[in-house]
Amino acid sequence: MQPKVRRPGARRTCLTGRPLRRISALGAVIGLAGLGAGFAPSVQASPGLDTGPATSQPGLSGVANAADSGSSVTQTHSWLDDNGTTRSGTVTVSKTQNLATREIVNISWSGFLPTVNSAGASSVHAAPQAAIASGFPVVLMECQGDNAATMTPSDCAFPNPNRYYYYAIHDAQESAQVQQSSSYDSRSFTETSGKVDRADTYEPVPLPSDFSDSNVLGTNWYATWTDPDGTHPNARFEVRSTKEAPQSLGCSDTSNRSKGACSIVVVPVRPMDCISATGCPGPTGDLGLSTDFKEWQSASNWRNKFVFPVTFKPFPDICDLDSRIALPTQGSQVLNQAMASWLPKFCTSTDLFKLGFTRVNDSTARSNLDVKVGGKYLSNLAFTTEPAHSATGRPIVNAPVAVSGFGVAVALDNTGYEQVNQVNLNARLLAKLVTESYNAPPDPNVQSNPESLLSDPEFAKLNPGLVAQLPPATQIDNSILVQGSPDLVYEVTRYIASDPDAVAWLGGKPDPWGMKVNPYYQGNKWPVPNAQFEIRDPYQWKDDPRKCEPKPVMEQVGQFVYDLASVADAMVNRQPQDYSVCKVAGQGGDVFAWGHSDRQLLGQRAMLAIMDLPSADAYQFPLAGLQNHAGKFVTPSNDSLAAALSVASVDSETGTLSANLQSSSPDAYPGLMPVYAAAPTHGLTTTEAGQYASMIRWLSTAGQTYGDAAGQLPAGYLALPASMRAQA
């Protein structure tokens, strides 16, 4: 019996190569935005720090849900059952305006028919995109157009073969053309260009290449269930724009057939109005039942649809149309979501100017303030969490522009195929996750340790009863981690270093259940705090029978990604970032290469990721409660960030704040991360100095208004309190 190489659950092996895509149109375009420069710091002490309006912000809930942003919409429809009884259903979409592309919203409803056979194999619980055994499900889609009266199923991309008419030919509400067709004729699809895609009988409709039904919840659709009481409280739905789907959706592209209009469409599948009393069998669990998800498109169901028009905030690349030279800034990836909002506001406002923001590691941005090439400094403004100091005597000050933090995002499903929303972690468990210390057979360095976080007795102690709710094979070996040296890594490892039990464990002391640190991290081999997560264990399985080029086991199961946007991307896509699967590559079948393990199915997710709070909030990842110095498990929220800010430590030289990890405050979240604009006060032109100063004033005042519109502060950030605004 050959040794087992474990499926991945955390870091990546090869530290080169970038993921192909980015979330929120941030990837290729957020090489723009931001500003900052500060003058004499004024914060003297942190106790009693005014927290301003911070607690009024939606989001940052720990279970990062899409709170009512002001654009929540509720609709109520009435319809007749097949027996003539009037029923009434109500649907609410949590947010419909100023959406970011790939943002996730909540959809809830009441008054619907309960779903039959909703649980079990091939049901809407187990397979929401192939719910073949469930009767009366609810289908969620994103479609072209915003007029419920004129919208047709041809406006909605839906995968083959589920465009076949099936039982629609028995539907009394259908047209004569459909009724006279074959069950295996297909509904056409109209692309945003106006091109109509059709197919012959038994043939699939040639959908546009940008349509895929394999994302987190179905690119443009998925089927789900209604509980026995007629409700469903929190269906998560991902919206996409023309950035991902220009041919199948085209949202916000005013040049297409629907003028860029799009809608979320909710279709409750109900008893069909049949031509024959025996023509439409009810829910029996068979493939061909007339009440399954495929029947969303039949006229009897389509007439009962709920249509919610959606709009998107300006994309950052709108600034490409601005021919002015951008004022350059660079630095903290914690500002990714804020910059996606602030950047378009600057370049589209006549009283502001065009900004540039290059997303780099904080340490690189700080260093570039001090480095000259060709007589010019590489940077005149760096966004950073750790304070910027000059090694060459260049006068630099740090002005606060944002308050946020790091968190541990969780994608974990229980045996009921529902998301787990509450997980507790302490510093020692985080240390275990980032040091390759869970057993990855056949690595002898960790062979005596638990194989997974979920089989670790310490995790079970902190999360009573949770493991029993999970499928038996569920494993989380480690966390998705960002490579490089952003300050987020330093703050995570500073949190680990603040806990005596975690430090003792890293030093070689077993935990109370006997688990030991991977010896390649023990003691001073990987000291904390540390600027980088690392792959240190070199053990290689010499008898590996697979045909890929040999490499260390920990490089196979590790899950490193290029940047924080890629962390969120992997979580949204349910794609482990390991390289543990030896796959055929290229033509001929004789070339092999390491690849990711399969994307995890909904209902079977088991992933953790250390990431920034704003991205976690935007994509609705539940966030773990982290144990603070007072021994309390605290999830990130406006209140817990404000509590952490009120006891924050002050750097006497720069006036910058950092998380006080020795505070006895029971309410303080230990993942606090303020972000500062570090700028020189000498050596700039008058124009540069004036623009940087204006930028800092704007970011620290107008830019601190909560909201979803361009220029407003997204969820995941705490608005600067008055004292920090004054400091800026």
- Res 597: pLDDT: 93
Name the residue type at position 430: L
Residue 366 contacts residue 386 (beta carbons within 8 Å): yes
Q: What confidence score (pLDDT) does residue 69 get?
A: 57
Q: If you average pLDDT over residues 421-440, what whole number do you get?
A: 97
Q: Where are the beta strands (DSSP E) in 580-714?
A: 581-584, 592-595, 606-612, 625-627, 633-634, 649-650, 657-658, 672-680
- Torsions phi, psi for 703 (to 5 deg): -75, -5
And the tokens for 637? 């929220």
* Cα distance between residue 386 and residue 400, in whole Å: 11
In this model, does residue 115 exceed pLDDT 80? Answer: yes
- Yes or no: say if 682 and 395 are a contact pair by the CB < 8 Å rule: yes
Over the chain, what is the mean pLDDT? 87
Whether the pLDDT of residue 17 is over 70: the answer is no
Give the DSSP letter string of 362-416. Answer: HHHHHHHTT-EETTEES-S-EEESSPP--SS---EEEEEEEEEEEEEEEEEB-TT
Per-residue pLDDT tens over the stretch 512-561: 999 999 999 999 999 999 999 999 999 999 889 999 999 999 999 999 99
> What is the Cα 471 distance to its own chain's centre?
23
pLDDT of residue 174: 95
From CA 535, how far away is CA 558, in angstroms rounded?
8
Residue 22 pLDDT > 60: no
Radius of gyration in angstroms for the set of CA atoms belonging to the chain, rounded to a whole number: 27
Greatest Cα pair distance in the chain:
87
Q: Taking a C-beta distance cutoff of 8 angstroms, is the pair 436, 536 a contact?
A: yes
Q: Tell me the torsion sign for CA atoms 554, 455, 429, 468.
A: positive
Query: In this predicted structure, what is the pLDDT of residue 121?
Result: 73
Q: Out of 323-332, 623-632, 661-670, pick the least confident.
A: 323-332
Q: What percent of the chain stands above pLDDT 90? A: 69
Residue 31: pLDDT over 70: no
DSSP state of 688: H
623-665 pLDDT, tens digit per residue, is 999 999 999 999 999 999 999 999 999 999 999 999 999 999 9
pLDDT digits (tens, 9 = 90+) for 273-291: 899 878 888 886 555 688 9
Judge whether 610 and 481 are in contact, CB under 8 Å: yes
> Residue 27 CA to chain centroid, in angstroms?
14
pLDDT of 169-220, one tens digit each?
999 999 999 999 999 999 999 999 999 999 999 999 999 988 865 543 345 7
pLDDT at residue 30 greater than cutoff 90: no
Q: What percent of the chain has pLDDT over 70?
A: 88
Nearest alpha carbon to residue 485 among 534, 436, 520: 534
pLDDT-derived band at 68 (thresholds 50, 70, 90) equals very low
Q: What angle do CA 95, 98, 101 make, to 5 degrees?
A: 90
Q: Which of 37-41, 152-156, 302-306, 716-720 has the lowest mean pLDDT?
A: 37-41
What is the pLDDT at residue 286?
59
| Tokens describing residue 320 | 């490409």
More confident residue, 560 or 101: 560
Mean pLDDT value across residues 35-63: 38
Report d(CA 520, CA 525) in Å as an integer: 7
Read off the pLDDT of residues 581-621 as tens digits, 9 standing for 90 and up. 999 987 777 889 999 999 888 778 999 999 999 999 988 89
Q: What is the pTM of this model?
A: 0.85
pLDDT of res. 60: 53
Q: What is the pLDDT of residues 234-258, one digit of tens each?
A: 888 889 999 989 999 999 999 999 9
- By the 8 A CB rule, do 661 and 634 touch? no
Strand partners, 74: 92
